[in-house]
Amino acid sequence: MAQDAVAKERTNQKRSLETQKKILDAAEELFAEFGFYGTSLRDIHALSGVRVSLSYYHFGSKEAVLQAVVDRRAEEHMQDMLGSLRHSLTIYAHNPLPLDVLIEAYVRPCLERHSCYGAGWKNYIRLLGHLASESASSKNKAQFFKYNSVNQGFIDEFKRSLPNLGEAEIYWGFYFLQTALLNILLDTRIVDNQSGGQCNSGAIDQVIEQMQRFFGKGFGDSRYQDP
Q: How far apart are CA 185 and CA 203, in angstroms?
A: 12
117 in any annotated domain: yes
Rounded Cα–Cα distance for residues 200 and 8 (Å) = 52
pLDDT at 75: 95
Sorting pLDDT into bands at 50, 70 and 90, what band is 145?
confident
How many other CB atoms are there within 10 angstroms of residue 196's CB atom? 7
Mean pLDDT of the chain: 89
pLDDT interval class at 3 (50, 70, 90): low
Would 226 be classed as within a structural domain? no
Domain count of the chain? 1
CATH of the domain at 197: 1.10.357.10
Angle at 1 between CA 58 and CA 5, to 5 degrees: 10
pTM: 0.87
Judged against a pLDDT cut of 70, whether residue 146 lies above it is answered with yes
pLDDT single digits (tens) 187-208: 888 999 999 999 999 999 999 9
Provide CB contacts within 8 A for 71, sequence distance 6+.
none
Question: CA 41 to CA 52: how far, in whole Å?
Answer: 7
The pLDDT value recorded for residue 211 is: 96
Is residue 224 domain-resident?
A: no
Asked if residues 97 and 161 have their Cβ atoms less than 8 Å apart, the reply is yes
> Domain residues for 184?
2-219
pLDDT of the residue at 123: 96
The answer as to whether 227 is a domain residue is no
